[in-house]
Chain A
Amino acid sequence: MADTTTDTTALIPVTVLTGYLGAGKTTLLNRILTEQHGKKYAVVINEFGELGVDNDLVVDTDEEVFEMNNGCICCTVRGDLIRIVGGLMKRRDKFDGIIIETTGLANPAPVAQTFFVDEGVKAKTRLDAIVTVVDAKHLPARLLDSNEAADQIAFADVIVLNKTDLVTPEELAAVEAQIRAINKFAVIHHTQRAAVAIDEILNRGAFDLQRVLAFAPEFLSGDDDHEHNEDVRSLSFEVEKPIDPEKFNAWIGALLQDKGPDLLRTKGILSYAGEDRRFAFQAVHMIADGDFIGPWKDGDPRVSRLVFIGRNLNRPQLRRGFEGCVVD
């Protein structure tokens, strides 16, 4: 039998836009679409969208989430996206990316998990980044009255902190501190009318294992002082001794199984004993992905780093667990 031909064309990047109704999601979307970039995007919107979307290829969908029958209680998937990606691949006129706008109250997890779970979707597309638009004036109230506002910030790789003209500098600093307490690692852009450079939003590669911790500028800066357990927060850990892969797999596997519903995103770069390459790891709830990426650079310290964003995070327990993964 002849060799199987494999499709070597690059996977189509998918950007997920989340944010509350009125935060400026559709404004950002229209800005992306109307800017002269010579690129074509397929846009997936839901029928409760606020404003019209100006694009040739707009797919109107109902967000249809279902639970996978795989024993993973928090593994929910957007079945409508699986069908839409399959349908879009049939078109002759190809496009440079897919942008998915979620409803205001959407939990980003099912969208993200769709791109990890479905083989057909994985074969054609890659999740590029989750972009969350928040309203500087109304975010504090949203954080008080719902979990979704915090989830959307927790999942974000990029946060567009919009409508900064409606708040005082003090209010802006306070709202940014609130965002940072939830997600220390996302890139934050201050905007008015969602004016942000497109290349800060698209093609970020945030779910690319190669860049799994690229969005952690404040990685080593002071740990958080935020201690309300019900709230979403982010914790980071590092160990200097090499990691034993078997111990790490056993620990992280059990941890994700046990605490998966509380662990929104987990990312790490690990230095395995006897290995010159870096091992990158990421998870959305219980669904994990990991692989070796490029070698450690000469002179760089071989430090293993792990980041958790979630609820009910027990810092001492997580630290002990991670430190217990080093080689004896």
Chain B
Amino acid sequence: MSQTVRAEFMLQTRGVQRDLGAFVVAARFSRDGRSVAFSVGDGTVRLVRLSELSDWREVQVHDGAGLALAPDGDSGFVSGGDDGALRRVTGDGSVSDIARFGMKWVEQVAAHALDKGRGLIAASVGKMVHLFDETGKKLKEFTHPSSVTGLVFDTKGKRIAASHYNGVTMWFVAAKTDTPRKLEWKGSHTGIAIHPEGEAVVTAMQENALHGWKLPDGQHMRMSGYPAKTEALSFSKGGKWLASSGADAMVLWPFFGGGPMGKAPIELAGGDGVICTQVLCHPKEDLVAGGFTDGLVVVADIGSSRILPIAPPDHGPVTTLAWSPDGTRLAIGTETGFAGVMDFARR
């Protein structure tokens, strides 16, 4: 990127930004695409309607910090916090308990929408994953050998995968008897992504590397060379690429043509020596958003490697990115409390 001329950052002209005053833990859009929520380290969730971008509503949800956020129903959210609470926040800002787990943290939350308004909510508390239906009724508990560090549903909501020490456990959500598939690899796995077509599971590892298993055969994949820990993993639409943070560029591994084994990844928006902390692929196009430790946010076209600058490198490490379901908006949050919503919609 240019060293002398400061690029124009689109957030300043086509977006809205706020200082939320505390660590922005997660941003998520509602499933109806009408609002976005930011979970913040002061225990609040900030709700923003996309039709009224200047109106940021503050809802107190946790006595402590929020740790995880996921969409719920059409317009609401579920939030886990370090107060041991798993809570529901409706689109109009009312809050209710789904479950409370005492002093244990609710560290991971995942949600999946089934048809006819039904849905699944999963939350990890230590080694346990608790599964609820859309009403908050407890369906199941899954136990793991150590604390769960990443939790993800597959595209159809049939399986849920959890990362932990020494591998991943995949559970069939509706199975009568719980005999999980165990994907094993020694070490501490700290995050997880599942291929949208179910062809692979990939984890981030403590030793600045990724580990993966091809499905269904379980063949191992190892992707290394990262200077820092990978905090974010994201498959592109259809699963052609796996984007990852942890290097001084967005690193994208090809999951086609025999890859990623034996193939080099492509690197986007690199060259400044600043570590990428967040990546998120666009829901419709071969685009990827990336956030860096200095607050820089860009969107890159994977095909052409063209870079669109979104937010300037002024706001501390980027901690979260979220695309709206239709891909016309991008939400951004950083460690220093900066939050923004970028509008890509045609005017």
A-to-B contact residues, CB < 8 Å: 1-2, 4-5, 7, 58-60, 62, 64, 66-70, 77, 79-80, 82-83, 87-93, 118-120
Q: How many angstroms between the C-alpha atoms of A88 and B23 in the bound complex? A: 11
**Contact A62-B103, Cβ < 8 Å, known A77-B206, A90-B25, A92-B22:** no
Q: Is the CB of A64 within 8 A of B146?
A: yes
**Residues in chain B near residue A88, CB distance under 8 A:** 82
Asked if B340 is at the interface of the complex by the 8 Å CB criterion, the answer is no
**Residues in chain A near residue B42, CB distance under 8 A:** 91-93
Partner of B314, one of A2, A77, A87: A2
State the Cβ distance, B84 to closest chain A Cβ, in Å: 9
Q: Is the CB of A2 within 8 A of B188?
A: no
Q: Is the CB of A2 within 8 A of B294?
A: yes
**Residues in chain A near residue B235, CB distance under 8 A:** none
Could you name 10 residue pairs across A and B whose Cβ atoms are closer than 8 Å? A4-B274, A58-B103, A66-B187, A66-B188, A68-B207, A77-B188, A91-B82, A118-B206, A119-B229, A120-B229
Residue of chain A at shortest CB distance from B228: A119
**Residues in chain B near residue A91, CB distance under 8 A:** 22-23, 41-42, 64-65, 82
State the Cβ distance, B91 to closest chain A Cβ, in Å: 24
Residue of chain A at shortest CB distance from B231: A120
Q: Is the CB of A87 within 8 A of B147?
A: no
Asked if B126 is at the interface of the complex by the 8 Å CB criterion, the answer is yes
State the Cβ distance, B45 to closest chain A Cβ, in Å: 14
Residue of chain B at shortest CB distance from A60: B103
How would residues 157 to 177 of chain B score, 1 for a CB under 8 Å from any chain A CB and 0 otherwise?
A: 000000001100000000000
Q: Is the CB of B228 within 8 A of A87?
A: no
**Residues in chain A near residue B205, CB distance under 8 A:** 69
How many residue pairs, one in A and one in B, have C-beta atoms under 8 Å apart? 101
**Contact A64-B207, Cβ < 8 Å, known A1-B3, A4-B293:** no
Q: Is the CB of A5 within 8 A of B103?
A: no
Q: Is the CB of A70 within 8 A of B147?
A: no
**Residues in chain A near residue B316, CB distance under 8 A:** 5, 7
State the Cβ distance, A313 to closest chain B Cβ, in Å: 31
Asked if B33 is at the interface of the complex by the 8 Å CB criterion, the answer is no
Residue of chain B at shortest CB distance from A2: B313
**Residues in chain B near residue A58, CB distance under 8 A:** 103
**Residues in chain B near residue A2, CB distance under 8 A:** 6, 294, 312-314
Q: Is the CB of A90 within 8 A of B313?
A: no
State the Cβ distance, A209 to closest chain B Cβ, in Å: 24
Q: How many angstroms between the C-alpha atoms of A7 and B315 in the bound complex? A: 12
State the Cβ distance, B190 to closest chain A Cβ, in Å: 8
Is the interface on chain B under 10, 10 to 19, 20 to 34, or 35 or more residues?
A: 35 or more
Asked if B1 is at the interface of the complex by the 8 Å CB criterion, the answer is yes
Closest 4 CB pairs of A and B: A92-B22, A92-B42, A90-B41, A60-B103
How would residues 81 to 119 of chain B score, 1 for a CB under 8 Å from any chain A CB and 0 otherwise?
A: 010000000000000000000111101000000000000
Asked if B21 is at the interface of the complex by the 8 Å CB criterion, the answer is yes
Q: How many angstroms between the C-alpha atoms of A264 and B102 in the bound complex? A: 37
Residue of chain A at shortest CB distance from B227: A119
Asked if B240 is at the interface of the complex by the 8 Å CB criterion, the answer is no
Q: How many angstroms between the C-alpha atoms of A88 and B146 in the bound complex? A: 20
Q: Is the CB of A4 within 8 A of B104?
A: no
Q: How many angstroms between the C-alpha atoms of A277 and B64 in the bound complex? A: 45
Asked if B272 is at the interface of the complex by the 8 Å CB criterion, the answer is yes
Residue of chain B at shortest CB distance from A58: B103
Q: How many angstroms between the C-alpha atoms of A91 and B105 in the bound complex? A: 13
**Residues in chain A near residue B236, CB distance under 8 A:** none
How would residues 120 to 154 of chain B score, 1 for a CB under 8 Å from any chain A CB and 0 otherwise?
A: 00000011000000000000000000110100000
Q: How many angstroms between the C-alpha atoms of A318 and B14 in the bound complex? A: 67
Asked if B330 is at the interface of the complex by the 8 Å CB criterion, the answer is no
**Residues in chain B near residue A5, CB distance under 8 A:** 294-295, 314, 316
State the Cβ distance, A92 to closest chain B Cβ, in Å: 4
State the Cβ distance, A70 to closest chain B Cβ, in Å: 6
State the Cβ distance, A179 to closest chain B Cβ, in Å: 34
Partner of A79, one of B66, B105, B147, B314: B147
Asked if B186 is at the interface of the complex by the 8 Å CB criterion, the answer is yes
**Contact A69-B207, Cβ < 8 Å, known A1-B313, A83-B149, A90-B41:** yes
**Residues in chain B near residue A62, CB distance under 8 A:** 126-127, 146-147
**Residues in chain B near residue A68, CB distance under 8 A:** 187, 206-207
Q: Is the CB of A4 within 8 A of B187?
A: no
Q: Is the CB of A79 within 8 A of B165?
A: yes
Residue of chain A at shortest CB distance from B3: A1
Asked if B37 is at the interface of the complex by the 8 Å CB criterion, the answer is no
**Residues in chain B near residue A59, CB distance under 8 A:** 82, 103, 105
Q: Is the CB of B314 within 8 A of A64?
A: no
**Residues in chain A near residue B166, CB distance under 8 A:** 66
Residue of chain A at shortest CB distance from B84: A60
State the Cβ distance, B234 to closest chain A Cβ, in Å: 20
Q: How many angstroms between the C-alpha atoms of A128 and B272 in the bound complex? A: 34
Residue of chain B at shortest CB distance from A64: B146
**Residues in chain A near residue B1, CB distance under 8 A:** 1
Considering residues B3, B67, B82, B272, which has the most beta carbons from chain A within 10 angstroms of its beta carbon?
B82
Considering residues B41, B295, B316, which has the most beta carbons from chain A within 10 angstroms of its beta carbon?
B41
Q: Is the CB of A1 within 8 A of B228?
A: no
Q: How many angstroms between the C-alpha atoms of A87 and B6 in the bound complex? A: 34
Q: Is the CB of A80 within 8 A of B147?
A: yes
Partner of B186, one of A69, A87, A93: A69
**Residues in chain A near residue B64, CB distance under 8 A:** 91
Interface of chain B residues 170 through 227 with chain A (CB within 8 A): 186-188, 205-207
**Residues in chain A near residue B103, CB distance under 8 A:** 58-60
**Contact A79-B25, Cβ < 8 Å, known A4-B293, A64-B165, A70-B207:** no
**Residues in chain B near residue A4, CB distance under 8 A:** 274, 293-294, 313
Q: How many angstroms between the C-alpha atoms of A70 and B82 in the bound complex? A: 32
